[in-house]
Amino acid sequence: MNRAIVTALISIGIAQLLKVPINKVRTNKWDWSIFFETGGMPSSHSTGVASLASYIALKRGMKSIDFALSTIFGLIVMYDAQGVRRQTGELSVRVNDLNEELDRIVGMEHQAGQYEQKEEQIKEMLGHQPEEVIGGALLGIAIGAISYFLSKNR
């Protein structure tokens, strides 16, 4: 069993699980479907790559090629999570707003068969705010360190 991979996968699961009570605090209702969604606090993408990099740093050293690869990979993932994916989410918000505006306009001037109403909106929560990425990275560093020290005691 590859402890580094297991550490990263467990950390992703922990981050996803933490989203549920954090959302409960924000909205005052339990929504377990958030466990299976992207976006939100903490970023499970950041948690996974940060736990992997921190575990490797402690196991192999910060001068190792393994640490260098995992760190660069992690930085790209975190940049993408809060950059490209976040912009895609913001674009989705605008498309949904346009769809609602079109529904309003068509409702005023509706002629049968001219417009087919869309049943679902585009998913808007795709990426992360910078604080969600940072929160995920800090959680990942902690989980990676804990995993390393637990394996060292065996």
- Cα–Cα distances (Å) from 135 to 47, 90, 110, in that order, read 8, 21, 48
- The pLDDT value recorded for residue 112 is 46
Per-residue pLDDT tens digits for 21-46: 999 998 999 988 888 887 788 999 99
- Structural domain spans, the chain: 1-83+129-154, 86-126
Mean pLDDT split into 10-residue runs, the chain, 154 residues: 95 96 91 84 94 97 97 93 70 72 66 53 65 94 97 80
Distance (Å, whole) CA 146 – CA 10: 12
For residues 24 and 30, the answer to whether their CB atoms sit within 8 Å is yes
